[in-house]
Structure 1
């Protein structure tokens, strides 16, 4: 796949889109569910483009595929009772993202990260806190193969994965072959869906019927 744009150019474009979105759409005309659906679609696009330009392949590392850029959904610890997500590349291949592994929001320069404490702070984006910030009560990922709420991982070759294998040289395991749907369900039971297509990573926003 030809990469005709630099990562800096992509960041600039996404930043401009995000700025226009946050500054010029009247808040009275967009609800929280619409807002997080739009933001999450932007984040997914950003993560996919990052993956296309950041080849993790290493012939000396049989687990290199575990470093692919990933968005993963989690539940907050029980006392917090909520849902959050993190975007990261698992550099240490532990299966547990750390703040050092995460992608930064190009508009706010904050980490797209939270721990299971689900607390706002100066370093992390509040937009990762789906329940606290957007009143999302549940997330369903149709292609989920994990013990969490689900994840989407992006390959440098454009392939999309529902999980990253913990075994050596299994870099093609868990590639999705059918569209994967991320369903966001609000506290008032409204929902929106984001469909991710295999191979291309094309994204489509769908209003729930």
Structure 2
């Protein structure tokens, strides 16, 4: 009788352990799928941003600091009380340094604005992909060419050049080496997007999972 009871207890423990293991791998798979999804969409949006810059030149010799209107992507933090990371793609038409919805690029697939604010709220006319942490469990983003005090930004011009910061001179901060954007989720899985400095060609590189 004791032997049978012990065997039953073992069986229960095995079932519990299997359930925990299954739940862990299921959650890990879900997170990996989310990481792949948002990385793939970000690649598409970056390619469209590059195309927009090539076909929509902002150059105007009669306008001071016209280059601040270049199409760009900027990564930002949500409010401290909310936490998380988001990004916007826009042309700073007012040259104020702060993006707004009307200045933002529309996603070529969903036609929604690639925009959000530090409130990081979901809205019907805004791309869900911009909310990296809230919707895709992205813990951090590492940008190899970041030379700002923020999470990072990149701007594109009509000649295919890329700039890592928009300063008071239009020709400074031009990208010299290839730049990598690494998205890191809460399980430390990583996906990498590489942007080449000479051609501004954009491509997803190897997948890294824990």
* TM-score band w.r.t. shorter chain: 0.7 to 0.9
RMSD: 1.5
> What is residue 113 of structure 2 aligned with on the other side?
111
The answer on whether the counterparts of 2:82 and 2:119 sit within 8 Å (CA) in structure 1 is yes
Spell out, residue by residue over 1:70-122, the C-alpha distance to the aligned partner (whole angstroms, 9 max, x if none): 01100100111110000000001111111111001122221100000000012
Give the unaligned 5+ runs of structure 2: 1-28
1:62 CA drift (Å): 2.4
Q: Distance in 1 between matches of 2:41 and 2:125?
A: 18
Aligned match of 1:158 in 157, 160, 167?
A: 160
1:2-151 mapped onto 2 (5 Å cutoff) = 31-151=33-153
1:133: how far off? 1.0
What's 1:172 paired with?
171
Question: Is the CA contact 2:48–2:108 (under 8 Å) kept in the aligned structure 1?
Answer: no
| CA distance in 2: counterparts of 1:204 and 1:46, whole angstroms | 13
Deviation at 1:31, TM superposition (A): 0.2
Contact 2:105 2:114 in 1 (8 A): yes
**In structure 2, what is the Cα distance between the partners aligned to 1:208 and 1:122?**
31
Q: CA deviation at 1:153?
A: 0.7
Please give the alpha-carbon distance, in whole angstroms, between the structure 2 residues aligned to 1:208 and 1:164: 31
Equivalences, count: 179
- What stretches of structure 1 move > 4 A for 4+ residues in a row? none
TM-score scaled by length of structure 1: 0.82
User: Partner residue of 1:198?
Assistant: 197
TM-score by length of 2: 0.82
Q: Measure, in 1, the Cα distance between the counterparts of 2:203 and 2:126.
A: 27
Contact kept, 8 Å, 2:68 with 2:92, in 1: the verdict is yes
Q: Which runs of 5+ in 1 are unaligned?
A: 1-26
Q: Give the structure with the larger helix fraction.
A: 2
Larger radius of gyration: 2
